[in-house]
Amino acid sequence: MDLEWFDRVCGELQDSLDSICSKYDENGGMSVERGAKHPRMDFFIENGEEDRDYFCTIYFDPRNEEFYIESFDPDLGYESKVVLADIEDIVDAVHESFHIYLEEDVSVEEDMLDDDTEYYLTDNDEIERSNEDGDNSDIYLEEVDVEWETPEVTAYYQENEVEVTYQFGIVQETGDGVLRRVNRIWTEDDDLLKDETNFIFSKEEASTIIAMIASHMDSLSMME
């Protein structure tokens, strides 16, 4: 496949990114993957010597010779692609994604710590929680860098009884997809029970999963 246009834009884009904004100039970077079926440019922020937060990916369609960015519509529940006509559109897309990343970048400590809770590392480098009374809980949090692409979307709801929500994200280290399912059940005593599961899958698996579900939708029963 001919990547002349892709390589030329990559070279010009690097010069344009130098002036995207001061915060990006400090520790922002770009990597190029030419070997994929649709070559791509990944944009990231360096958080350490080997720690990167990826916040935007620009793809190139060699057949149509066009750049595009993938977008997920939570209302319709499927991905679409937005074609970027020229380098100005690409820079604008990266700039916008970067500022969305800055707004959503909340650390584990800021997100989970409260006045009554202390967190500390165990011997297995996991985070263990204890309360003010010194009573250690059995809750461990595995550190996986997931960028959530959608909010929690309600798939099923029955007032004062049950709610099922889904959320889609990307594992930053591997690029795999994550489907998070949260099941909330209200008991007769008005207690709330919460069950959470996460399903991780690759891009190659996604199309197969979607096709299998779509072809068997008529066989499924409605929740009662």
User: Which pLDDT tens digit goes with each residue over 81-131?
Assistant: 889 988 888 888 888 888 888 777 644 344 544 444 444 444 444 444 444
Q: How confident is the model at residue 143 (pLDDT cuts 50, 70, 90)?
A: low
Q: Which of 172, 13, 5, 39 is nearest to 92 (CA)?
A: 13
* Structure confidence at residue 67 (pLDDT): 92
Beta-carbon count within 10 A of 54 CB: 19
Distance CA 13, CA 74 (A): 30
Q: Are 26 and 102 in contact (CB under 8 A)?
A: no
Q: Are 68 and 80 in contact (CB under 8 A)?
A: no
Q: Are 95 and 105 in contact (CB under 8 A)?
A: no
pTM (two decimals): 0.47
* Structure confidence at residue 135 (pLDDT): 42
The structure tokens listed for 4 are 């002349």
Q: Which of 166, 173, 223, 152 is nearest to 199 (CA)?
A: 166
Q: How confident is the model at residue 11 (pLDDT cuts 50, 70, 90)?
A: confident
Q: Are 28 and 42 in contact (CB under 8 A)?
A: no
The structure tokens listed for 111 are 């997100």
Taken as a whole, the chain contains a residue count of 224
Q: Are 85 and 68 in contact (CB under 8 A)?
A: no
Distance CA 160, CA 187 (A): 8
Q: Which of 2, 81, 69 is nearest to 34 (CA)?
A: 2
**Model confidence at 139: pLDDT above 60:** no
The structure tokens listed for 124 are 């297995």
Q: Which of 113, 132, 206, 133 is nearest to 168 (CA)?
A: 206
The residue type of 221 is S
The structure tokens listed for 8 are 């030329």
Tell which wins on pLDDT, 158 or 25: 158
Residue with tokens 């996460």: 198
Tell which wins on pLDDT, 28 or 2: 28
The residue type of 171 is V
Q: Are 39 and 32 in contact (CB under 8 A)?
A: yes
* Structure confidence at residue 18 (pLDDT): 67
Tell which wins on pLDDT, 67 or 37: 67
